[in-house]
Amino acid sequence: MHRSFPSDLLTWLHANLPASLSTLTCICLASFVLVAVKRRYLTSLRDIPGPWLASVSSLWQVYQLVKGHTEQEMIRLHRNHGHFVRISEKEVSVCHPDAIRALLQAHIAKGSWYSIFSLPDYHYVNQMSELDPQRHIHKSRNIAAGYALSNIIKSEPQVDALLARLEEQLDRLIASRQPVEFDRWFNYFAFDVVGEVTFSSPFDFLATGTDIRHAIANSRALALYIAIMGHYVWLHNLTLGNPLLSRLGLQPTSHIFDTCLAAIDHRQRQSQAKTPATATTSAAPARLDMMERWLTTRQQHPERMAESEIVGACVANVGAGADTTSATLQAFVYHLIRHPQYLAKLRQELDEAQARGELSPIVSYAEATKLPYLQACIRETYRYHPATGTGLPRVVPAGGITIADRHFSEGTVLSINPWVYHRNAGFFGPDCDEFNPERWLDADRAKQMDPFLIHWSAGYNQCPGRNLAHFEISKVAACLIRDYEITPVDADAPWQFETHFTAVPYGWPCWLRRRAVGLGGVTGFSIASPSSYASTRGVTTVTSYHDMVEKERGAYDGF
């Protein structure tokens, strides 16, 4: 009688499986060794030093991203190895004076990592995710009007109202004797501002004082996802970046994303309702915000700008424009309160300008730019804590590129990390690891350092939102330092921050107290002036908490 097939199979497996597994293991191990040897040694980059794992796999970069301090590891590696560090099979991190001109300022393609920023999927290529230099320049021209400083300043009354609202919320926390978590409040402010200037619709984080639907917390998790999936774009396009999910409405959403899409959809319907005849005769919109300017460009030149480009620009503006501003504002305050000698000089500059009547209750951008010590502190913050903590990759074009007498062949990826440049003694002096705003007060020295200050990148690929970010940072920095005494809850505990794409700080609560200069002791304007000031400029603000603050102030001396 014949044995059953299952029994025969089990007998065969019992007899042969151990040997088969052993053979399979040997084959896999041999394949790994062959691939590793090929990637590590059979390449023109074999002489470039760097971590062994990095030369054979992208997992080294992923590991650094998950750890959250890519920037520190890259500084260490460059100090050990010099101008060039190999960080993947085909990528080399570069730190050399000639590299900025050869890579960032040249019209060469960006690395494929950037394509991850096409949101919500790869059909919506924006200025940041566009890899081709010519198409990038074309897209830049289409959206340039929205980012022009002259147009951003036209939104200053609305930004003033949001800044007044921020101070009201800080005053509320003072009155209730609660510490201020700047990582929360600067994020609320930055997201509300970018919503306001993009489509005249703030996200109301400041108004509610909450992270609505955990949108900001979720965006930080998304930042890690984006940073990692930038190395595996093909996998992203099959999963969260799949266009099918967009069409079916199945992509993960948030309060920020939903508000963006709702505002875009509403404005597009308004725009489509206009005919060419009515477009020229109808009244102008109440506000010519960024989206309105982009829709106008598309209406006037439909062959030049696709509808998907507007959606991509709006979503990218919100996605990339808030975290970087918040991180820089946090770094500005954090490092100043830990360097009281510089804080005292900045306060003196602000108080003297206030006494001369040169500062408004909500400091204007024009006023802030005339304060040299303030601007020096901001520039030092850009240097000491650049918002971008990862490399900026570029692809070597046909013919190759030579840097420091080292030739790199076509297809090699060369990247520049802002932190590595900003902590280089050859560019910024032997005190490059120290926070020292006064390095920027010497005009000749500042001129020598300027080419190496690359917090916004450089050349045609500079961050398009840099004018808006500097506009916000200048105003908030001036108001906050003038109006408040700021003391860390635990002066001995350093802050924490993680670098995925943006170097995002957290965990450094502070006690705040209103300064006399902000209460009328020097200037004569009252504590309620920020709201009053915004109201006189035609802006609606939230209900003020200042009456409560005044009531509590007599019995409360601060922390």
Q: How far apart are CA 79 and CA 163, in angstroms?
A: 41
Q: Which residue has the higher pLDDT, 234 or 7?
A: 234
Q: What is the pLDDT of residues 409-461, one digit of tens each?
A: 999 999 999 999 999 999 999 999 999 999 999 999 999 999 999 999 998 88
Higher pLDDT, 80 or 517: 80
35 or 303, which is more confident? 303
Residues 6+ apart with CB under 8 A from 454: 100, 104, 386, 392, 416, 418, 421, 422
Residue 132 to residue 327: CA distance in whole angstroms = 29
Rg (CA), the chain: 27
Indicate whether 524 pLDDT > 80. Answer: no
Burial class (CB in 10 A: 0-12, 13-18, 19+), 25: exposed
Determine the pLDDT at residue 179. 98
Say whether the peptide bond before residue 18 is cis (omega within 30 degrees of 0): no
Q: What is residue 315's predicted lDDT score, i.e. its pLDDT?
A: 85
Taking residues 79-90, what's their average pLDDT? 97
Q: Does 529 have pLDDT greater than 80?
A: no
Give the separation between CA 450 and CA 389, rounded to whole angstroms.
19
pLDDT score for 220: 76
Distance of alpha carbon 452 from alpha carbon 405, whole angstroms:
20
Residue 436: Cβ-neighbour burial (10 angstroms; 0-12, 13-18, 19+): buried
Roughly how many angstroms between the first and final C-alpha of the chain, as a whole number? 92
pLDDT tens figures, 253-312: 566 777 777 888 887 777 666 655 555 444 444 578 999 999 888 888 888 898 888 888
Query: Does position 539 have pLDDT exceeding 60, yes or no?
Result: no
Question: How much of the chain exceeds pLDDT 90, in percent?
Answer: 62
DSSP 99-116: HIIIIISS--PBPGGGGG
Q: Is 462 exposed, middle or buried (0-12, 13-18, 19+ CB in 10 A)?
A: middle
- Give CA–CA dist 72/492, Å, rounded: 21
d(CA 385, CA 321): 16
Tokens of 164: 């007044």
Greater confidence, 199 or 29? 199
At 536, is the pLDDT very low, low, confident or very high (cuts 50, 70, 90)?
Answer: very low
Q: What is the mean pLDDT of residues 116-131?
A: 88
Return the H-helix or E-strand segment holding 187.
helix 182-199
Residues, the chain? 559
Nearest to 427 by CA among 81, 104, 96: 96
What pLDDT, on a 0 to 100 scale, did the predictor assign at position 368? 99
pLDDT-derived band of residue 20, with 50, 70 and 90 as boundaries? low
Reading the block at residue 230, the tokens are 């930038």
- Which residue type is seen at 354? Q
Question: Is 314 annotated for ligand binding?
Answer: no
pLDDT at residue 3, as a whole number: 54
Domains of the chain in sequence order = 133-396+416-553 (1.10.630.10)
Average pLDDT, the chain: 86
